[in-house]
Amino acid sequence: MTPLRLIALAIAALALATLPYWMSGIYYVNVASQILFFAVFALGLNVLAGYGGLVSLGHAALFGISAYATGYILQAGFGHPVAIIGALVVGVASMALYAVLSLRSTGIGFIMITLALGEILWGLAYRWISVTNGDNGINLHGRPAPFGIELNTATAFYYTTLVVFALAVVMVAIFVRSPLGAALKGTRDQPRRMNALGYHVWAIRFWACLFSGLLTSLSGILFVYYTQFISPQTLALTSSAEVLLMVISGGAGTLLGPIVGAGLVVIVKSVVSGFLERWNFLLGAIFVAIVILMPEGLVPGTARLWRLAWRRARGGGAPS
């Protein structure tokens, strides 16, 4: 890691750690919490879509399943620790089932199967009213209080989310540098060669799916504790598309990309929508613009422009 990057990382960490003190208003602290848990979600999808080349258009359903599981377990009268662990188990187990069904295929086939699975789960949540309460959803009452710290204030919840977010970033960073992460990138770029080299391509992808499922469940639990409410809308295709857009627009296959993408989408959705009625149009236009100007995503695209400008500034000018 270059010194420049270390400094940037330190500044970002400091800014995030002190955010409630310089950010004016509870509203913006809440927006920051949303960005962080959606970033965890996007990081989870990025493990598959970015590093594994497996684009899932049904991830919101997994996110939603963990949220519903949390709600059900709490309704059944269990405490928060049971609910959280139970929701993680349900989320990862659902991902395992997803993986078994969808890993029969790659490319557009994988997109289609995950989309179908997502729609099935959404359809159940939406229409199986006797079980899921349909569009009225499920309400939660209260947030957990780990180590006696109440999470009911925006600041306390922000710090909880920040801890989970930091954990997720570290986990993904370790995963990407691990032999499994390298093998996953290998199966994305050259599946046949990896197979010929003796790697079990299916198993590598399966483990990546489980890891992605774990991060997705974590973010789903944070989401449901944040909103205190879960409804089928969270599982819909639009939500799956949104998180995929976070990953692609930020830069699939980079650590920073999904975080930037989550920031972009959440800010346009909740802040810009406050004073611009046509925010959906703006979001769509931003996506189209990104594809035209920076097809690799915001983070790698900016890095490329930065390097270009740097070379120009040094007077070289010659393309490498």
The distance of closest approach from Cβ of residue 140 to other proteins in the complex, given in angstroms and rounded to an integer, is 24
Amino acid at 57: L
Q: Which stretch binds other proteins (CB under 8 A): 36-44, 148-156, 194-202, 274-282?
A: 274-282
Q: Which stretch binds other proteins (CB under 8 A): 123-131, 153-161, 199-207, 301-309?
A: 123-131
27-66 footprint of other proteins as x/- string (CB under 8 A) = ----------------------x-----x-x---------
Residue 43 or 140 with smaller CB distance to other proteins? 43
* 166 contributes a contact to other proteins by CB under 8 A: no
* 291 contributes a contact to other proteins by CB under 8 A: yes
Using only C-alpha atoms, what is the Rg of the chain?
Answer: 20
Q: What whole-number distance in Å separates Cα of residue 8 and Cα of residue 118? A: 38
Q: What whole-number distance in Å separates Cα of residue 109 and Cα of residue 64? A: 23
Number of other residues whose CB lies within 10 A of the CB of residue 122? 22
DSSP, collapsed to helix, strand or coil, labels residue 315 as coil
Alpha helix (H) residue ranges in 107-178:
107-127, 129-132, 154-177
Q: What whole-number distance in Å separates Cα of residue 246 and Cα of residue 256? A: 11
The distance of closest approach from Cβ of residue 115 to other proteins in the complex, given in angstroms and rounded to an integer, is 7
Q: Which stretch binds other proteins (CB under 8 A): 156-164, 169-177, 185-193, 248-256?
A: 248-256
* 107 contributes a contact to other proteins by CB under 8 A: yes
What is the DSSP track for 6-47? HHHHHHHHHHHHTHHHHS-SHHHHHHHHHHHHHHHHHHHHHI
* 248 contributes a contact to other proteins by CB under 8 A: yes
Q: Which residues does 106 contact at the CB level (< 8 Å), separation at least 6?
A: 53, 54, 191
Q: How many residues bind other proteins (CB under 8 A)?
A: 47
Residue 292 or 318 with smaller CB distance to other proteins? 292
**Residues found near other proteins in the complex (CB under 8 A):** 49, 55, 57, 101, 104-105, 107-109, 111-113, 115-117, 119-120, 122-124, 126-130, 236-238, 241, 244-245, 248-249, 252, 278, 280-281, 283-288, 290-292, 295
